[in-house]
Amino acid sequence: MAYYRGICNFCGTGCGHLLRVEGNRVRGVYPLSGHPLSRGRLCVRGWHIHELLQTEDRINQPLIKDQGCFRQVSLETAIDFVARKIKNISGREVAFLGSPRASNEENYLLGKFARSVIKTNNLSLSSDAGQEESARVLLEGCGWPAMTGSLAELRQADFILVVGGDLTKQNPIIASEIHYAHRAGAFLATISPRKTQMARLSQVHLRPRPGTIFYLLQGLARVLADDRKIDLDYLSRFTVNSQSFIDGLKLVEIDKVVEITGIEKEQIARLAGQLAESDSAYAFYPTGVQSLDSRTMAALFNLFLLAGKIGRRG
């Protein structure tokens, strides 16, 4: 029997775990106490992730379709088969799909193979459009297609905004860290039409009409501008074209935002004020089937830029 360290790849949190291996089988999973985020915890999915390895539906040998039926082949035969097929196809005719469940190393190799060997950029590592959109918004916004804050520092945050989704179900260990931050004094706000568990914990729960979160975020940005709570020093040091964006906010009419979203002016002003006054602020939004659309993600990103919160500690 041996124990191996690993990272749970069931969701994007990436909790640390220990795999108990007997022979060539993983027989158990245990939390890793020294992991900076999960700190010795796993959610129920993480505790049972090894069971997926034992399911009968799992494909653990290459299959080739022959006259309408799959037949099992050796790895060498499968590689030879794919290599012969791929030789006669140009880079334009082929696409590669990676998986967020695969390891970094595996996806790196897939990318190398696609780009360097087959000479194609038809490569996607996203499991759904929501993640790809999120990565694009972040890449355009700050040149880094992934989260900008540190989950390991989440407990030190003093403002946390959860927009849409249901974090407690989707990323339970992150939700647990938010609970800790909240207990330590962080101001917690949720923007979601649904009464999620995170919303119940929040000091402020804004419930805009479904499909109107974008307008509410624009309204928050307008209030920051009107109340002179935009961090102009931060914008001048770290952004370009911010003045034209601020000028564009004049087109956002707060009365119209109230009418569209159903959220009162005072509630919008309170949340904008809390964000502006915080030192360390986090925003969480879902990807996947509950994903926000890209303009809503961009509005959230721009709101945090205006308040000068991106790229700071936390």
Position 171 contacts ligand SF4 (CB under 6 A): yes
- Stretch of 106-114, 142-150, 167-175, 243-251 contacting ligand SF4, by CB under 6 A: 167-175
Q: Which is nearer to ligand SF4, 14 or 273 (CB)?
A: 14
CA 33 to chain centre: 24
Q: Which is nearer to ligand SF4, 242 or 291 (CB)?
A: 291
Cite the DSSP H helix spans in the chain.
44-47, 75-87, 104-112, 129-142, 167-170, 172-183, 197-201, 213-226, 232-238, 242-248, 254-261, 265-277, 294-306
Contact by Cβ (8 Å): 45, 61: no
CA triplet 154, 171, 221: central angle to 5 degrees? 60
72/218 Cα distance (integer angstroms):
55
β pairing state of 281-284 and 123-124: unpaired
Contact by Cβ (8 Å): 73, 44: no
Position 11 contacts ligand SF4 (CB under 6 A): yes
* Residue of 171, 9, 12 whose CA lies nearest to 102: 9
Nearest approach in angstroms of CB 21 to ligand SF4 is 18
Locate tokens 């502006």: which residue? 276
Nearest approach in angstroms of CB 100 to ligand SF4 is 11
Q: Single out the residue of 26, 32, 42, 191 in contact with ligand SF4 (rule: CB under 6 A).
A: 42
Nearest approach in angstroms of CB 175 to ligand SF4 is 9
Q: Which is nearer to ligand SF4, 14 or 28 (CB)?
A: 14
Q: Single out the residue of 19, 26, 35, 46 in contact with ligand SF4 (rule: CB under 6 A).
A: 46
Locate tokens 């935002």: which residue? 257
- Stretch of 3-11, 206-214, 226-234, 238-246 contacting ligand SF4, by CB under 6 A: 3-11
Q: Single out the residue of 45, 112, 256, 295 in contact with ligand SF4 (rule: CB under 6 A).
A: 45
Position 48 contacts ligand SF4 (CB under 6 A): no
**Applying CB under 6 A, which residues contact ligand SF4?**
8, 10-11, 13-15, 38, 42-43, 45-46, 171-173
